[in-house]
Structure 1
C-alpha cells in the first residue's frame, strides 16, 4: 500500500501485539463499503490519515501511549495516556461503532456529541480522545482533543490532525515522576 500520510514514520514497536488487543480491538481491514457505512452511522467523514492507519492495522493497543499536553488533566500534569486506538468497524468491543465505541460514550456516558471518540484511556471511560469536528464541520479535517469526563468534560487540544497526533505519541518513559 502506497502511504500518503505516514511515509516517514516508523511503526516498529508501535502496536502492542497482545491477545487482549486481538480480542477487543483489532478489526479486519476496512473496505470502502464499511468505511462509508460507518461514516453514515456516525455522521462524520473519517480523516484520510485515520483510514490509512486502519488499513495498516485496524485498531489495537499501542506501546507509545502518551501524548504531551501544556495543561494538567486528571491523568497527569504534562501528558495524557491512551490505552488503544479504536478501529473502523462494529464487531470488537473497542471499535468506533462497537459496544463501547463512540456512540456509547455519547449516549451512555454523556460525552459531548462533537465528533468521533477514537481512543480510550486507562481511566476506564473517565477520559477519551476525540476527533473534534467543532471547527471544521462534519466533512472537514478534525482536530484531536482530550475530553476529561472527571473535569466537567473539559476539552484539551492535542493535535491539529490525526497524523500529527499519532506521530506525537511517546513512550511513557518520556514522562518521569508519574
Structure 2
C-alpha cells in the first residue's frame, strides 16, 4: 500500500498484538462502503490519515500509549495515556460504532457531540481522545483533543491532526510516573 501519510514513520512494534486487542479492537479492513456507512452514522468525515492507518491495521492496542501535554490532566501532569485506537466498524466492542464506541460515549456518558471518539484511556471511560471538529466543521480536518469527563468534559489540545497525534505517541517509560 502506497502511504500518503506516515511516510517517515516506523510502525515496527507500534501495535500491541495481544489476544485482547484481536478480540475487542481489531476490525476487518474497512472498504469504501464501510467507511461511508460509519461516517454517515457518526455524522463526520473521517480524516484521510486515520483511514489510511485503519487500512494498515483497523484498530488495536498500541505499545506507545502516552502523549505529552502542555498542561496537567486527570491522568498526569505532563501527558495522557491511551489504551487503544478504535477501528472503523461495528463488530468489535471498541470500534467507532461498536458497543463502547463514539456514539455510546456521547449518548450514555454525556461526552460532547463535537467529534469522533477514537481512543479510549486506562480510566475505563472517564477520559477519551477525540477528533474535534468544533473549529473545522463536520467535513474539515479535526484537531485531536483529550476530553476529561471527570473535569466537566474539559478539552486539552493534543495535536493539530491525527497523523501528528500518532507520530507523537511515546513509550510510558519516557515519563516520570511517580
TM range (shorter): over 0.9
Aligned to 2:172: 172
| Partners of 1:84 and 1:26 in 2: CA distance | 10
Aligned to 1:54: 54
Secondary structure in structure 2 of the residue aligned to 1:131: strand
| Partners of 2:136 and 2:153 in 1: CA distance | 20
Aligned to 1:92: 92
The residue correspondences of 1:132-151 to structure 2 (distance < 5 A) are 132-151=132-151
Q: Give structure 2 stretches of 5+ with no counterpart.
A: none
Aligned to 2:21: 21
1:69 aligns with 2:63: no
Secondary structure in structure 1 of the residue aligned to 2:15: coil
Secondary structure in structure 2 of the residue aligned to 1:67: strand
1:176: Cα distance to partner?
Answer: 1.3
Structure 1 residue runs of 4 or more that deviate by more than 2 Å after TM superposition: none
| Partners of 1:73 and 1:168 in 2: CA distance | 17
Q: CA RMSD in A?
A: 0.5
| Partners of 1:73 and 1:3 in 2: CA distance | 33
Aligned to 1:108: 108
| Partners of 2:36 and 2:154 in 1: CA distance | 30
Secondary structure in structure 1 of the residue aligned to 2:97: coil
1:177: Cα distance to partner?
Answer: 3.3
Aligned to 1:153: 153
Aligned to 1:124: 124
Q: Give structure 1 stretches of 5+ with no counterpart.
A: none
Aligned to 2:7: 7
